[in-house]
Amino acid sequence: MLIVACESDVEINVKEGRSVTNMYAFIYPDSAVDVQLSKSVKIFSPVTFDYVKNATILLTVNSEQSQKVLIPNDTNYVRLPAPSLTYGDRIRLVATVNNADSVVAETFVPTFVPISGIDTTTVTIRQDGKISELLSFALSFADDRSTDDYYQVVVERQVLDENRKVLTSEKVDFNKDDNVFNVAGQSIIGSQLVDLEGVFDDMLFNGHNYNVNFSMGREVVLPAVGEQGVRLRIRLYHHTYDYYNYFCILKVYDYSDFFQAIGQASLYTNVTNGVGLVSGMSFDEYFIYF
């Protein structure tokens, strides 16, 4: 047996690039505005972000100056007191760093879309010789014909005590039974369909009353041993296109990273002179007790 081996050193020059300001904010009516502001770092940096220095945030609603706050140098987060916002308001955020460089983002608060109702049905299925029961949901709402709309269904399982006080709350996955979850904005990585976590648009039903269908196992929602009660908190979010596009690309990137796909992913941003996302959103919620 003859074994031969050799090795060589290969030097790779990586361009570090310039530091970029990152800004993120998600804005609801009648709620404080949380703004995250930071600086990007070099590829091989031991930290994931750098703090901004001497930064201010200016929030403007409907072209009228609302408030201006200073961000402390030792944090990347600031909370602005709740401005008086209503649906349709236009919002502008300007972050100024070192009294010179500014990043700017504009968004609006989408109209409120109420949940008309939720019907539930128990479905018995047989799979691989086993019988299981699903709880099927039909969430109804009315869509506006005059606009392109973007939605998300989010379900939380909340464990209650004997006084219906919430002890724990966790987001739960559900079966995306409706075609709206599998049409627009979907991608396949490898052999896997990317799960967009309940996000969808109104391409299939623009301007109509619609029932969104989804389901989950009864064992997920029914109280377990030792639990006094369970409450499902079902939310219907109304998003801007900016959030919808950013979220879809982010999920595709996560799946690409998981399956180690080779390629470059560029996340969507609506921040000028920087990167990030500033988006308004609204929601309605519905509770079901077990």
Residue 124 has a pLDDT of 87
**Where exactly are the structural domains of the chain?**
21-108, 117-269+281-289
Give the pLDDT of residue 154. 97
Give the pLDDT confidence score for residue 261 in this predicted structure.
Answer: 47
**Cα 190 from Cα 187, distance rounded (Å):** 10
| Options 2.60.40.10, 1.10.1660.10, 3.40.190.10, 3.30.56.10; CATH of 21-108 | 2.60.40.10
Pick from 123, 126, 103, 117: nearest CA to 212: 117
Cβ atoms of 96 and 69 closer than 8 Å: no
User: Per DSSP, what are the bridge partners of residue 286?
Assistant: 234
* Helix (H), strand (E) counts: the chain: 2, 18
> For the chain, what percentages of helix, strand and coil (3-state, to nearest 5) are there?
10, 45, 45
pLDDT reported for residue 2:
85
- Whole-Å CA distances, 43 to 16, 18, 23, 47, 175: 6, 11, 19, 10, 38
53 sits in which H/E element: none
Count of residues making up the chain? 290
- Rg for the chain, CA atoms, rounded: 23
Do 180 and 212 meet the contact criterion of CB atoms below 8 Å apart? yes
- Tens-level pLDDT at each residue, the chain (290 residues): 888 888 888 877 767 667 888 999 999 988 888 999 998 887 777 777 788 888 889 999 999 878 888 888 888 888 888 788 889 999 999 999 876 778 999 999 999 999 999 999 998 888 777 888 899 999 999 999 999 999 999 999 999 998 889 999 999 999 999 999 887 555 555 556 778 899 999 999 999 999 999 999 988 888 888 888 999 999 999 999 999 999 988 888 777 665 554 455 578 899 999 999 999 999 999 999 98
pTM (two decimals): 0.85
90 contact partners, CB below 8 Å, separation of at least 6:
61, 62, 63, 106, 107, 108
Q: What is the DSSP string of 232-284?
A: EEEEEEEE-HHHHHHHHHHHHHHHHHHTT--S-------EETSEEEEEEEEEE
